[in-house]
A and B are shown apart, each in its own frame.
Chain A
Amino acid sequence: MINEILQAIIFPGVLFTIAMGFLFDWLDRKTAARMQGRIGPKITGPSGILQPLADFLKLLFKEEIIPSHADRVIFLFAPALYFLAPLLSMLFIPIIGPTPLAGFEFDLLAILFLLAYAAFVVTILSYSSASSFTTIATGRLVLQYVSYEIPLVLAIITAALYSRSLSVEGIVASQSTLWNILVMPFAFGVYIIALMAELEKPPFDIPSAKTEIVAGWLTEFSGRALSFLKLTKEVGYVFGSALAVSLFLGGGLGPEVAAVPPPVLYFVYFMVKLLLVGFLIFVLKTALARIKIGQATELFWKILTPVSLAQIAFVLVLIQGGVLVAT
C-alpha cells in the first residue's frame, strides 16, 4: 500500500511527471536556440537545466493580479482544474512496466474524455478573464479545437482498432512483434500534427499568437495562475508524446538485454522513445511559422480527416484479410 502511494506521488507518478515537464521545456528552449544559432539558457544550473524551475518558482512568488471584471471564482480555481487533466492522463501510461499506475479496461476512453475536459476548461478559463484579447483567443481556441479533435481521435482509434483493445496497456502489449507505426504511419503523422495543434505549438499557435493578440488566452494571468498554466502546457507536452510512444511506438518494449532487470530496461526504452518524439516536435515547431486559423481548419478537415479515414479503411482491410494481425 505504502509502496503504491509512493509510486503515485513520486515515481513514476506526479513528481516525476512534473520533472519531465521541466525537462521538456528546457530541451525545447535549447533545441530552438541551437537551431537559431544561439546558446539558450546557460547559467541556471548546468547548461541552464534549472531554468524552467526558476521560471516556475519566480512566478509562484509573484503578485497575482485579478482584473476587475474577471469572473473571480473561475479565474482563481480553473488553473488547478486544468492542471489535473494531463496529470491524471499520465497515470494511464505504462512507464516502468507493462502495467500503468491506474489503468483499467477502457482507459483510452478516459484519456479522450480528459482531452475534451482540458479543452473545455481552457475555454471557460479564457472567457473568465473578459478582456478583448482573450475573447478573440477564445474564439480561435474553440475553432482550433473542433478542427483538430476529429483527426486526433481518428488517429487514436486506428491504433485501438488494430490492437483490438481500448486500454493503453492492451495496445502496448499487442505491439510486441510489430510496432503500430509500421502498419499505420499516416495515423502517427496525423496524431503528431493534431498534437501540435492541441499544444498550441507553431504553426498552430493561433490562439496565443504573440504578434497579434498579445499573449492570447494567457494575457490576463499573472503569478501563481500563470505558473500553473505554463506547467500544465509542459506536462501536456510530455503526456502527448508519451501517448504517441504508447500507441504507435510500442511503449517501453524493445529487444531484451540479459544483464539489465526488465523494469529498468522498460523505462530506458520508454524514455528514449519519449525524447525522440519530443525532439521531433521541437524541431518541427522551430522550423515552421504560424498559419491562419482558416488554413488550420482547412488542413484538418479537408486533408487530415480523409487521410485518417483512409488509414482506418486500410487497417480494416488488413484485419479482414488476416494479414499482419496484431497478436
Chain B
Amino acid sequence: MLERLATWSRKRSPWVFHINASSCNGCDIELVASLTPLYDIERFGAILVPSPRHADVLIVTGTVNAQTKDRLRRVYEQVPEPKHVIALGACAAAGGVFKGCYNVGQGVQDVIPVDMFIPGCPPRPEAIMYGVLKLLGEVK
C-alpha cells in the first residue's frame, strides 16, 4: 500500500535539476523550451528546481570535459535517492561534435550512471518530453 503510494507520487512529480556540463547551449535552450506555453512540461508535474538537493531527475547536457567532470560527479552525489539521470543531446551521449578534442571524454556515462539517453543535436522539445515521460513509465 505504502509502496504503491510512493510509486504513484514519484511518477507524478519528477523535479528536474539541469546541469550544463560544457554544452554549446543548444540543448539547454531546447530544454527550457519544453517549459514554455507551447509544450508546458509542468502538465506532468515536472518543474525545474534550483538546488540539486530538491531534484529527482538530473538532466545533463553537453560533452563532459576535464573541467566539468568532478563537478558533475559532485552534483550527482548531492541528489537524494531515488534519482535518475538523463543525458541530453549527442554530446552528452558520446561527445558529439566535440568528440576527439584533447579534453573530452566519452560522454556522461563515463562519469555517472545514466538511465536514459535522448539523442539529437539538439533534441526537439517533443523528444525531451517523450524521454522524460518514458523514464517515468519505468519508475518503480
Contacts and interface: CB of A to CB of B under 8 A. Distances in A.
A29 interface: yes
Contacts of B51: 214-215, 218-220
B30 interface: no
Given A63-B81, A210-B50, A218-B51, A58 B40 contact: no
A69 to B, nearest CB: 14
Given A44-B12, A58-B56, A64-B80, A215 B43 contact: no
B43 A40 contact: yes
B6 A57 contact: yes
B1 interface: no
Q: Is the interface of A mostly helix, strand, loop or mixed?
A: loop
B43 A54 contact: no
Size category of the binding interface on chain A? 35 or more
Nearest to A32: B42
A62 interface: yes
Nearest to A65: B80
B80 A63 contact: yes
Nearest to B8: A54
B53 A222 contact: yes
B80 A222 contact: yes
Contacts of B13: 44, 51, 54-55, 58
Contacts of B78: 65
B8, B13, B15, B53: residue with the most chain A Cβ atoms closer than 10 Å: B53
B9 A58 contact: yes
A281 B40 CA distance: 23
A223 B8 CA distance: 16
A221 interface: yes
B134 interface: no
A51 B42 CA distance: 10
A36, A44, A48, A64: residue with the most chain B Cβ atoms closer than 10 Å: A44
Given A61-B9, A63-B80, A42 B56 contact: no
B43 A42 contact: yes
Contacts, number: 91
Contacts of B80: 62-65, 222-223
Interface string A7-45: 000000000000000000000010001001111111110
A37 B36 CA distance: 9
A268 B43 CA distance: 30
Interface in B38-92: 40, 42-45, 49-51, 53-54, 56, 78, 80-82
A44 B47 CA distance: 14
Contacts of A54: 8-9, 12-13, 45
Contacts of B43: 39-43, 48
12 contacts: A36-B37, A38-B36, A38-B37, A41-B42, A53-B9, A61-B5, A63-B81, A214-B51, A219-B51, A222-B80, A226-B53, A226-B54
Interface of A: 29, 33, 36-44, 48, 50-51, 53-58, 61-65, 210, 214-215, 218-223, 226
Interface of B: 5-6, 8-10, 12-13, 15, 36-37, 40, 42-45, 49-51, 53-54, 56, 78, 80-82
Given A41-B45, A57-B8, 14 more contacts: A38-B40, A39-B42, A39-B43, A44-B13, A50-B12, A54-B45, A55-B45, A58-B6, A58-B56, A61-B6, A65-B78, A65-B80, A210-B50, A219-B51
| 7 closest A-B pairs by CB | A57-B9, A42-B43, A63-B80, A54-B12, A58-B9, A215-B51, A37-B37
